[in-house]
Amino acid sequence: MTPDDNVYAPPAAKLESDQKACQQCGASIHLLAEVCPRCGVRQRPPVSKIALLLLAFFGGGLGLHKFYLRKPVQGILYALFCWTLIPGLIALIEFIIYACTDESALNRKYTATSAILVAAIGFGVFFVLWFVVGILAAIAIPAYQDYGRRAKIEMAMAQVEPLRMKVMERIADTGALPATAADVPDATAVTVPAIAVAQLTDHGVIVIRFDEALRPPIAGTTLEFTPSLDGGQLHWQCLGNLPARYLPRRCRAL
């Protein structure tokens, strides 16, 4: 097999300081030559250790150093799982390995692509990811805040339930709505710290006032549990100015 047939063959002549071996045929060509005059194959850029270290350190979590080393599949995997931070940890280990490896050894093991192109692609991917993260955050944060508000309202409902049971027991015993709060034994106000205060008023109405310290739109609003008798049947109605979307489940069932 001749050097023309074997792409891994050594250069045909001893290389000078200003020469390198053709990546295709192994012929001795000028160090700055982009095309081999013998086989006509365009030479791939050598691995720059500085560029590799910069890409691994600043863009390793996105797999930029893998794209630079012509390993696109690995680069795509790094980019897809960058949110787990595992690719970033692996890239940090690889950064240390690259830093401890001689540049000539890196060139023997890897072939490079344009570092500028990889950096441009990397910054593009970075901004796209931030755009996607921003959209997800714009959706998730309000949803999480709504969940927190509903959780606080449900917590208040759980604390008020014993007071409502006392009103129901009084109505069951007398067959009529209590005229005043004093008609219901032990009907003391219920306080849920930093959330709400509930108290019994006339005709068995339980008024829940949500703390002003809570964020809008529930700060300072009220929810009223109003009992009524219809043919001896007790019914409860939810009134007040609490936004309908925050009404607790039991209000929807009443």
Beta-carbon contacts of residue 203 (< 8 Å; ≥ 6 apart): 177, 178, 179, 226, 227
**CA-based torsion, 210, 215, 220, 223: positive or negative:** negative
| Model pLDDT, residue 206 | 92
150-253: CATH topology: Glycoprotein, Type 4 Pilin (3.30.700)
SS3 211: coil
The pTM of this model reads 0.52
∠ CA(100), CA(63), CA(96), 5° rounding?
A: 15
| Model pLDDT, residue 7 | 47
For the chain, the structural domain boundaries read 1-43, 150-253
**Which is nearest to 198 in space by CA: 242, 149, 147?**
242
| Model pLDDT, residue 86 | 92
Which tokens hold the place of 129? Answer: 């990811």
Per-residue pLDDT of the chain (254 residues; tens, 9 = 90+): 444 555 445 544 455 556 777 767 878 877 667 678 888 776 677 788 888 898 889 888 888 888 888 888 898 888 888 888 899 999 999 999 999 998 888 877 887 777 666 766 767 677 777 777 788 888 888 888 888 888 888 888 888 888 889 999 988 888 899 899 888 888 888 888 888 999 999 989 999 999 888 888 888 899 998 999 888 788 888 888 998 888 887 776 55
| Model pLDDT, residue 98 | 92
